[in-house]
């Protein structure tokens, strides 16, 4: 079973769905295989607004990054679980021309990243399951100043950490290595708003060979234990300081989001 952080060999096979490609399918991406489309279509039948939810997740990621860049003076961003057409890249200048490092364990994403999204960012192989290796990577250490506050973006990777203990330990190890004043931006799919439908989605991912674990609000909050939550706290992603009209109902999005600070 494929999980982010445990190697990207599966992403090379057109016969097995890969997390990054399925996610890209939801965002109308073209670099996907038939198996990814089949799995994505099954999920869409169970979660008809999945593309809208994925879009709102990416908008939240970019809105949180803008907030941190302009209100907290953050200039360095580390995004784990990066996929195709990653957030932040198109908003490089609006973010004040920061340093960005994308981390992926999918070799196809890495190849595309180097070819298409590397003018304003750097790419490395790795995953949340191995935080020490990520932080020790020469590209990360040279690209980001880890002695000063940075922002770590975990908006599309936590679901693929199936074991709760592994997820908590990985996030804690990552946070412990950050300078005080650093931030974690996180988003997580949940069953809290539509339990039956999202239970089916979780089973479909797993049946498609992708390790997947949704978490409740309290379980998501536990992953951020020891960090100071910024207002408005843990909310659906489109409700985190929205800058537009009222968004959809929570059961159309089925995600929790938060921005938290290391004291």
83 SS3 class: coil
Mean pLDDT (the chain, rounded): 92
Q: What is d(CA 100, CA 239) in angstroms, rounded to the nearest whole number? A: 25
Q: Which residues contact 220 (CB under 8 A, 6 or more apart)?
A: 158, 186, 188, 190, 234, 256, 258
Provide the pLDDT for residue 60: 96
Nearest alpha carbon to residue 108 among 13, 41, 44, 233: 13
The arithmetic mean of pLDDT across residues 231-244, rounded, is 91
Q: What is the CB-side half-sphere exposure of residue 138 using CA atoms within 13 A?
A: 0
Provide the pLDDT for residue 74: 97
Q: What is the pTM of this model?
A: 0.93
pLDDT of 218 strictly over 60: yes
- Backbone phi and psi for residue 41, each to the nearest 5 degrees, phi listed first: -70, -40
Q: How many residues are listed for the chain in this entry?
A: 263
Q: What is the pLDDT of residues 26-78, one digit of tens each?
A: 998 887 899 999 999 999 999 999 999 999 999 999 999 999 999 999 999 99
Reported confidence tier of residue 9, pLDDT bands at 50, 70, 90: very low
Q: Which residues contact 60 (CB under 8 A, 6 or more apart)?
A: 155, 187, 237, 238, 240, 257
Instruction: Give the CA radius of gyration of the chain.
Output: 17
Question: What is the full DSSP assignment across 112-158?
Answer: HHHHHS-SS-EEEE--TT-HHHHHH-HHHHHHS-TTS--EEEESSSG
Reported confidence tier of residue 244, pLDDT bands at 50, 70, 90: low
Q: What is the pLDDT of residues 158-175, one digit of tens each?
A: 999 999 999 999 999 999
- Token output for 51: 């593309």
Provide the pLDDT for residue 92: 83
6 SS3 class: coil
Q: Which residues contact 174 (CB under 8 A, 6 or more apart)?
A: 128, 131, 134, 135, 152
CB 50: neighbour CB atoms within 10 A?
Answer: 22
């Amino acid at each position: 079973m494929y999980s982010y952080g445990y190697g990207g060999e599966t992403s090379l096979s057109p016969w097995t769905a890969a997390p990054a490609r399925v996610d890209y399918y939801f965002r109308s991406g073209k670099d996907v295989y038939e198996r990814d489309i089949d799995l994505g279509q099954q999920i869409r039948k169970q979660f008809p607004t999945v593309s809208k939810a994925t879009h709102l997740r990416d908008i939240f990621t970019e809105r949180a990054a803008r907030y941190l860049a302009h209100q907290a003076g953050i200039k360095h961003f580390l995004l784990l679980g990066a996929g195709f057409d990653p957030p932040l890249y198109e908003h490089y200048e609006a973010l004040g021309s920061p340093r960005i490092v994308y981390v992926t364990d999918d070799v196809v994403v890495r190849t595309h990243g180097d070819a298409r999204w590397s003018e304003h960012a750097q790419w490395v192989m790795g995953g949340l399951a191995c935080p020490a290796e990520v932080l020790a990577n020469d590209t990360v250490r040279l690209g980001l100043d880890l002695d000063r506050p940075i922002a770590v973006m975990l908006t599309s990777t936590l679901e693929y950490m199936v074991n709760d203990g592994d997820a908590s330990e990985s996030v804690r190890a990552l946070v412990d290595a950050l300078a005080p004043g650093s931030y974690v931006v996180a988003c997580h799919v949940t069953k809290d708003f539509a339990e039956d439908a999202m239970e089916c989605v979780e089973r479909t991912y797993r049946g498609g060979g992708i390790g997947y674990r949704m978490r409740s609000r309290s379980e998501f909050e536990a992953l951020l234990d020891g960090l100071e939550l910024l207002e408005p706290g843990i909310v659906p992603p489109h409700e985190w300081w929205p800058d537009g009209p009222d968004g959809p109902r929570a059961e159309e999005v089925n995600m929790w989001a938060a921005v938290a600070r290391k004291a």
